Amino acid sequence: MNENREPLPGAAPASADFRDLTLVEVEQLVANAGERSYRARQILHWVHARAAGSFDEMRDLPASLRNYLKQSFTIGHPVSSFVSRSSDGTRKLLIRLDDAEEIESVIIPTEKRMTLCMSSQVGCAMACEFCATARMGLHRNLTSSEMLSQILAARRELAVGEELTNFVFMGMGEPLANYPRLVRTLAIMTSEWGMGISPRRITVSTVGLVPMMERLLSETPVNLAVSLHATTNELRDRLAPINKRYPLEVLLDACRNLPIKRRSRITFEYVMLAGVNDSIADARRLVKLIGPLRGKVNLIFYNPLPDSPLRTSSRAAVEDFQAILKNGNLTATIRESRGLDIAAACGQLYAEQHIPA
């Protein structure tokens, strides 16, 4: 949980967001204020369970403690600068941060789930060929409070009776490239003093930062998804350039040795690109590559980007691909495209709002 954070001396920069803090840090802060330790859980309950927007709302705290907190901290207010709603119920949020940067989050409803796709960075440095966010480059990492803001902003967009059930870090950015803040965020999301979300409902997706994959599963109980997208190094070097640092054999060997928890397994994401990675030969190679692993494959229809030569595979090609995987005793599901009418692919809404036509 160490994020190279300076110890709290009893005062903090005026711009510090209280939602970045863990229980241990809040207990230290409360002790510095001369209050008993149980006050820390009271405050965190207000912040995370009751979504308090200010310390003045915390009427069961002594006024002196509320004033002490106000001197050093704020409680951020995420602002959805643009919300796009799809005919299929998908909602895409463009969330403005305090420095005027913007990130995307997507609410994805299905029959049994209401999933929030979350960002971990402003932009991304991984340069994947099929990803709209890659065209932005990396602007900066998100803080924990900025990642958590996406949950608060999304909840405001839910209709009566709707509730977020699952959370996936598959939005803008490479989560494992922002590892310390990601792990801090996961701790706040899953702890009983935080948001109390079951870790089994949280998935972190990576394009393949091998050293951090094992660390994530050793330090957290969340699920892992690996963006694979190719069955040869030559093609993956092009689609996901991180492969030049961690080629397929290194990545899959790491997957083989990951400390997978009981009843858990790795999900391999595979974006289907017409004439690029959707052949029968690709499917058969994929069976050989990941057949020995305890994993499943999520086949994804590609959301085409403007000015890109890449095209999505036909449904027939995707279903034929799936059939070969199943015949090879792999669990293979097809992720249906959602929000096509609102540019729901990662980075597309940002591009629409910021890049002139």
Q: Which two tokens stand for residue 4?
A: 């190279």
Which phi and psi angles does 159 have, rounded to 5°?
-80, 170
Pairwise CA distance, residues 353 & 335, whole Å: 27
Pairwise CA distance, residues 132 & 23, whole Å: 37
Only one residue has tokens 């990545």, namely 251
Nearest Cα to Cα of residue 335 among 306, 297, 287, 309 = 297
Beta carbons of 221 and 254 less than 8 angstroms apart: no
Which phi and psi angles does 72 have, rounded to 5°?
-115, -20
- Give catalytic status of residue 117 as yes or no: no
Beta carbons of 43 and 30 less than 8 angstroms apart: yes
Beta carbons of 38 and 30 less than 8 angstroms apart: no
27, 35, 104, 269: the active-site residue: 104
124, 128, 131, 346: the active-site residue: 346
What are the E-state strand segments in 245-301?
A: 266-272, 295-301
Beta carbons of 277 and 302 less than 8 angstroms apart: no
Q: Which two tokens stand for residue 156?
A: 């405001």
Only one residue has tokens 């030969």, namely 281
Residue 335 exposed, middle or buried by CB count within 10 Å (0-12, 13-18, 19+): middle
- Give catalytic status of residue 346 as yes or no: yes
The residues carrying an active-site annotation are: 104, 346
